[in-house]
Structure 1
Amino acid sequence: MRSALVWFRRDLRSFDHAALYYALRRFERVHCVFVFDREILDALPDRQDRRVEFIWRSVQELDAALDRLSRQSGGAGGGLCVRHARADEAIPRLARELGVDAVYANRDYEPAARARDRRVAERLAAVGIAFEDFKDQVIFERDEVLTQSGQPYSVFTPYKNAWLKKLDGFYTQSYPVARYAARFAPKAEGERIPDLAALGYEPTNLAGLRLPVGMSGGRKLLDDFAARIGRYRETRDFPAVKGVSYLSPHLRFGTVSIRELAAFAWAEGGAGAETWLSELIWRDFYQMILWHHPRVVDASFKPEYERIVWDDAPELFAAWCEGRTGYPIVDAAMRQLNTTGYMHNRLRMIAASFLTKDLGVDWRRGERYFADRLIDYDLASNNGGWQWAASTGCDAQPYFRIFNPVTQSQRFDREGAFIRRYVPELARVPGKFIHAPAKMGAADQAACGVRIGHDYPAPVVDHAVARGLTLTRFAAARM
């Protein structure tokens, strides 16, 4: 009996799944596996990692969903084989044990993942087992959207225009997994999902956050957002307002389908849906950039900016990480990240601009800090966003346009509601001072119970001075 093994990675769903669909359609029996990859998990700095818990809970739901699909189709039940090991060792070993003819997976575009998949493919080929991967996490990949001269785009707007011109129903149609679900192979007796402790991790505050997990969580968030997508363009930049979709962790781990999301936005139309679709296109754009230019992981997209002399400022970097810079919008953003594993997109731009342009710290240090803490961390998007803010990337914010953290705060958190939520020591500060509390005199400080420099820090840098230093720094690199 011809059989295959489907390797789940960042695609933790039982529906509209390319690799799963092709395996079920082509083979008589299909096994499924997820690997808690020790190469990744053992390197994480915190044993309480919300991403690990998000994945763990989503894997549990996926396991049950696969079994249910099989039984509803008249099969004998199914589910996941789950391993806690190095994936490049566990997958070839399991494939041999099961005697499968092929291993199917959905494509990953990160350099480390590509190297891992090459190792797996080589080890499988050595024992006569095929390895095949499929496009699943983006609408257009690799060379599917190129310039007229056949080169990858490096500027977003023409890429977006070409992307939209190419889009049609073919690229967003769903893969009907359920049609072949009777072909799932039953799990081996005694096969269990290890608990968090067995993985070396502890529970986090994920359950207390307003972030539902798994496929059901993704569906809940999408249904909620669908009712307000028409207001997305007007509300998306205000962190105190429920304006965004909150689907980014689900996109990262594939508990939702990018095809379904793009098809929904395309069909919905209107300013809100078009703006949100543009954000999905940014995601494809950065994956394309990472594929064609893997050097951006550690280097500036614009080579001349590798000459920038960044400041080695450990005390300033620590103040930024801990949310005690004296700029309330920056501090609120960093405290949101540290508390929840999430940061609003507008705040990501503000925080990144402040670190690189006000503090003069290398963007790579900030990118790594976000990578360690964001639930939705995605290398391509995180790297692209940081290089945009630092003005070192493709289609970047021009280096001479530098976010003023006070005016950004006044514009996007006018009443200070978001600041007061995450910087509670400023809760009683009057609105006219909430964006720059250091401007309060002694009497005002006493009236609201905040002593600047004691209860809340004075600004660690002067923005106007820092702006001048940044212009000089970039000008020197461009000479």
Structure 2
Amino acid sequence: MTATIVRFRNDLRIDDHPALTAALQRNQPVIPAFVWSPDEAGDWASGAAARWWLDRSLRSLAADLQRRGSRLIIRSGDVHKEIAKLVEETTADALHWSRGYEPALLESDQQLETSLTKRGVEAVSYSGRLLFEPDAVRTKQGNPYRVFTPFWKACLNLDPPREPHSAPRKIPAPQDWPASASIDSLGLAPQRDWADQFSQRWQPGEQGANQKLKRFLKQAVADYETGRDRPDDYGTSRMSPHLHFGEISPHKIWYALQTQGSDGSQAYLRELGWREFAYHVLVNFPETPDQPLRSQFENFPWQHNAKALRKWQRGQTGYPIVDAGMRELWATGWMHNRVRMIVASFLTKDLLIDWREGAGWFWDTLVDADLANNTMGWQWTAGSGADAAPYFRIFNPVRQGEKFDPAGDYVRQWVPELKSLPKKWIHNPWDAPADVLADAGVELGEDYPQPIVDHGEARKAALAAYEEIKAT
């Protein structure tokens, strides 16, 4: 008996899954499969934090499938060989999957479609990760967009995104199931449990994604426009890892927000638009994970300072808001978006360290590490990417802390050495009088580091470096 294989990848859900919906419409057994093939992603295989999330998300998906009378078949190895073997073992006549947009996945998908079609197997990919296909809009000149606002305006002038599909109650099973590896055998979870706080803060999987959306709509979306920049408050959705792993579709979020009718919901839709823009840029400029979009930045005089990079990674820069963000990242696999901009500006402009060093660290430590978003965020801050911030926009970490963490609650949470400092000095402890430091139990250089760079001097050096490449 023939069957349809549904290959899961970064679409680990059952609800609103176009490839699964299409497979069910063929009225034959469906074989859900996941192939762990890090080589398929080229240079961008999942980092350690993302692998932790993937391990738990796969377990959630497997349980959801089991409740519907199905299974998740696990394979590991070369994706093309493993899919070919699975097709042969099951006599499947079709493979359905959600389209990939990362450069290596686009190439892999094309090869997979070609090889299966030659064998007489229906090979169809579906749009399951984005609201709009990356090539759906172009400038009047027929070029890809480099600026967000006209890009998003063009998207909103298209037909609205399709409405979400309903999740099936049952999934028809084959008479005989093919062999499957265990999720444990993939080795995704860390050998040392450095991710102990991850489990306390996150619930990977479709159920966790839906609960997170429900909480956001109930508690935070109304004030999102003003609250999203405050790391000391629960003002953001924290949906990014769920979206990256496809545990919830952007279509479901889109239509849930349409029912809100608040300024906050419109502001959040715009953030979804930035995600769409990131993929538009990645697909049309596939070199950007490794190269600056603005070519003059190829000659930027980046500094190679391993010691300073290490201090930044470990949250030991002496700037409390920067250190709080980097420690939050290490402990939880996540960082507030405003703080991501602050720490990225500090690395690229205060320390003059190449944005690719920061992007690589984020890639390995973020549970929501996403090639399109990560690349756009770093190139935006560095001034080298699409719709980038002007290079001379250099965040002052003290002013940013005072503005977005005014009471110092965020810093106190992640930099407990400073928890007893009054808020007047929490973001600039080096300016505090000796008696204030003593009362707070802080000895700079011992309990907490002195600033590794003077921001005022660093700003001058960054602007001089920018003038240098402008002249070339």
Per the normalisation by structure 1, the TM-score is 0.92
**1:341 pairs with 2:316:** no
Post-superposition CA distance 1:228-252 (Å, at most 9, x none)? 2111111111111010111111001
Residues in 2 aligned to 1:452 and 1:41: alpha-carbon distance in whole angstroms: 44
Give the CA deviation at 1:380: 0.2
**1:471 pairs with 2:460:** no
Aligned to 1:7: 7
Q: 1:45 to 1:83 in 2, by over 3 A?
A: closer
Aligned to 2:216: 225
Q: Which residue identity is paired with 2:168?
A: A
Asked if 2 retains the 8 angstrom alpha-carbon contact of 1:50 and 1:206, the reply is no
**1:254 paired residue among 234, 246, 256:** 246
Q: 1:43 to 1:296 in 2, by over 3 A?
A: closer
Aligned to 2:409: 417
Residues 65-464 of structure 1: pairs in structure 2 closer than 5 A? 65-69=64-68, 77-168=69-160, 171-178=161-168, 181-185=170-174, 188=177, 191=180, 193-195=182-184, 201-202=190-191, 204-205=195-196, 208-228=199-219, 229-464=221-456
* Equivalent position SS for 1:385: helix
Q: 1:430 to 1:358 in 2, by over 3 A?
A: same
Residues in 2 aligned to 1:167 and 1:421: alpha-carbon distance in whole angstroms: 45
Give the CA deviation at 1:35: 1.7
Give the CA deviation at 1:222: 0.8
Asked if 1 retains the 8 angstrom alpha-carbon contact of 2:240 and 2:368, the reply is yes
Q: Which residue identity is paired with 2:254?
A: A
Asked if 2 retains the 8 angstrom alpha-carbon contact of 1:145 and 1:163, the reply is yes
Aligned to 1:21: 21
Q: Could you tell me the percent identity over the aligned residues?
A: 37
Farther off after superposition, 387-396 or 227-236: 227-236
* Equivalent position SS for 2:5: strand
Residues in 2 aligned to 1:384 and 1:315: alpha-carbon distance in whole angstroms: 26
Post-superposition CA distance 1:397-446 (Å, at most 9, x none)? 01111111110000000111010111111111121111011112332222
Residues in 2 aligned to 1:457 and 1:206: alpha-carbon distance in whole angstroms: 25
Q: Which residue identity is paired with 2:211?
A: K
Give the CA deviation at 1:474: 1.2
Q: CA RMSD in A?
A: 2.2
Residues in 1 aligned to 2:203 and 2:330: alpha-carbon distance in whole angstroms: 19
* Equivalent position SS for 1:460: coil
Greater helix proportion: 1
Residues in 1 aligned to 2:132 and 2:230: alpha-carbon distance in whole angstroms: 30
* Equivalent position SS for 1:296: coil
Asked if 1 retains the 8 angstrom alpha-carbon contact of 2:151 and 2:277, the reply is yes
Q: Which residue identity is paired with 1:409?
A: G
Residues in 2 aligned to 1:453 and 1:464: alpha-carbon distance in whole angstroms: 20
Q: 1:246 to 1:66 in 2, by over 3 A?
A: same
Post-superposition CA distance 1:153-212 (Å, at most 9, x none)? 1100111212222252xx231224527x45343662764633267557435325642211
* Equivalent position SS for 1:268: coil
- Unpaired stretches in structure 1, ≥5 consecutive residues: 70-76
Post-superposition CA distance 1:311-365 (Å, at most 9, x none)? 1111111111110111000000000001110000000000000000100000010
Q: 1:318 to 1:187 in 2, by over 3 A?
A: farther
Residues in 2 aligned to 1:226 and 1:155: alpha-carbon distance in whole angstroms: 29
Residues in 1 aligned to 2:380 and 2:175: alpha-carbon distance in whole angstroms: 48
* Equivalent position SS for 1:7: strand
How many residues align? The count is: 468
Residues in 2 aligned to 1:186 and 1:269: alpha-carbon distance in whole angstroms: 48
Asked if 2 retains the 8 angstrom alpha-carbon contact of 1:60 and 1:193, the reply is no
- Unpaired stretches in structure 2, ≥5 consecutive residues: none
